[in-house]
Structure 1
Amino acid sequence: MVTAARNAVALTFALNGFCFATLVSRIPDLRSGLELDNGSLGLLLLAIAAGSVLALPSSGRLIERTSAAAVVRLGGVLTAIGLWTASVGVAAQDSVAVTAAGFFAYGLGSGVWDVAMNVEGAEVERRLGRTIMPRFHAGWSFGSIAGAAVGIPMAAVHAPLPVHLGGVGVLALVLVVVVGRAFLPPSAPPEAPEVVRSAWREPRTLAVGVMVLAFATVEGSANDWLSLAIIDGYGARHWVGVLGFAVFVTAMTTGRMVGPVALDRWGRAPVLWATSAAAAAGILLVVAGGHWLVVGAGIVVWGLGASLGFPVGMSAAADDPARAAARVSVVSTIGYAAFLAGPPLLGQLGDRVGTLDSLLAVAALMVPAALSVAAVRSTRAPSTVER
């Protein structure tokens, strides 16, 4: 049962990444179809963020009242509706309002889907008795790579957006409904429920959230600014900047695949102290390296350093299965604030000090990350490994 659930969760993560990359791969067509400039497109994309911000805090309660499988299916429904609606807004009506509504629905779906799959992944990890959450997050990366691989030729042949985006949404929904059957059954509710305070008032949960926020910023800043920093800071060609980002993604995915071995051997806190130091050192090498070999090494070290903070934070939030949904919801909400606020703030700083030098502010975030790492020490009671 647990092995089947593990495989189902891995596929769920990959499908989420596949949907994300599918949408991203067609954003240039969305922009041209709606005849938007970059500023207007940025405002339109905020509809996705608004949906996610609204969905994340309420996801925990939904999971507690139903199950992670039910909420993942809900996420699949909203994601499919959102992708199709956004594509129709461009292809059929040329309507920014319809596309914004689709983006909002996609954001809602992505938000509840994300929390539910992390809650289920943490439960699978607990039942297995060994670390596996980082590999689930690596699965998301593999799914996004596959989504981009499909999106590139679809964009090249100008495939109709409703066919591409709508088709992927329907496919993802069908697969999510099927694989959700292999999720672990919800735990039975306690016979005499205790009155517990909100997870938003728990110091440990908030400390884990701060750590995840810092690591998410380190990851998100590379996604948004690494290529531009290399191009602006070193006068590199465009393809060199893209290559630098590809190296980062490869290093981060590798870290998530091999990281569980280190986590099981040395524990969460020592490994995350090492990765926070690595992330800061990698950024410093990128900013001050000067030579392409040093900068390349810095990107690899940065990617490895950024790889484990987010998934380990999800695991730590879910140590107590009775409160896992509420705590993962809180930590996710705090962590995703980095993806919302980080890019514009770093952009403003980059306008003042330069794109490359602005990354030093990201390196500084590893200080609060390291200070809050102690909160992720496992609080789980020893359990029997299930097969």
Structure 2
Amino acid sequence: MRTPFRLNKTIGEAYDMDLADALTAKQALADLGHLEVPDGGFDEYPDRPLIEAVKSFQRAEGLAEDGVMKPDGPTLARLNDVLKTSPTLAAPVSGRETGPMSLLNPPAEPGTPMDRHLASLPARPGAAPPMDSKKSTPEGTQVAMAPAIALIPPLIGLAARTLLGPAARTAAGTAAAGAAGMLLGRMSKEDENQTTTERTDVAPTFPPPPGYEPPNIHLPGVTAPTTEPIELPDLSQPIPETKEPTIFILPMPDEGLQKTGTILEDRRGNFETKAEIERIQAWIEKNHPGWDHVGGGVDRDLGGLKSERWIPSLAKFFGGDGRKGGTYVDLSFETPSGKKVHIQTVDVDPKTGKVTQKELDAADRIRRSGKNIDVILIPKGAQMDKFFNRSKRP
């Protein structure tokens, strides 16, 4: 039985509560099972658990559930009435930790047979110091608590029947049930947290950075076989028709095929490059009269220059604008079968006379920029002349 207490101020969420009142009310409500004792014990500061505990008590006693307890109100009066008849645990000794497990080893009263028996026990040499119950196991360590939980009620009950009085036995039973319930609740929460669930969210895929095109990437609706470039040693035969998009490497047409007029000045390279592009256009028109001239070079009908075709980079297929990594094509034709033919004058390796890898990669991007596209690469005549002159050196 506890002594009734008085409040200095009203306890409630909307009130300026007294610190001493908050601590006293917490202890009283905890004794009646409406408030759980935290690991570090109660403090004197009003908080949400205190208000909820007041509501829990009001609900259990059939009072108005408003979370308010006034010094002269019905909630405090009913609380004191219940405390008068409610059994309490033995008063804790100052400086000693209290809790359900402390009932197993209650302090022996001076002069009792138990006290004399404990005093007569010799101290064991090299005995380890007692464990500090406040220290927890290292993080990540799992302890099997199921057997210990099953033993808590019998052990506490045995200690209560042996060492305590009738009132304390009832309180010990309540404490045993509460301790076991708390441990089971914590273990069930840990099990829930450790339960694995199937992942439902799928990691998003992002487009490659602009200007980056992995070789032979499959694009929607684009035929892009992994074919090697076909080198034609001379221009005596027309360019063969192929079923698959192909890259051809041809020599520069003879200067005698050039149909000149005036080479117009624009951004397309120097005079030699423009002259070579016009020779290539003349050779294509002579050997493939059915091909339709659609871009680059000289406009035979209107005069002047035709706009070059712009081939965006592969970033366009992934939501980008395709400007970085894109390229202009020197000449573009379309065959009667609907195939597109893009022609580029390209650089060669000065040591081998072969088309550089950079130019081959650019041609592959052009080939994969749409459906049914052939690419013709023609090494620049000036560079080939330099290569031949270099190869004749001793």
Question: Which category describes the TM-score, using the shorter chain as reference length?
Answer: under 0.3
User: Which has the larger Rg?
Assistant: 2
Using structure 2 for the length normalisation, give the TM-score.
Answer: 0.20
User: Would you tell me which structure has more strand in proportion to its own residues?
Assistant: 2
Q: Which has the higher contact order (CA 8 A, sep 6+)?
A: 1
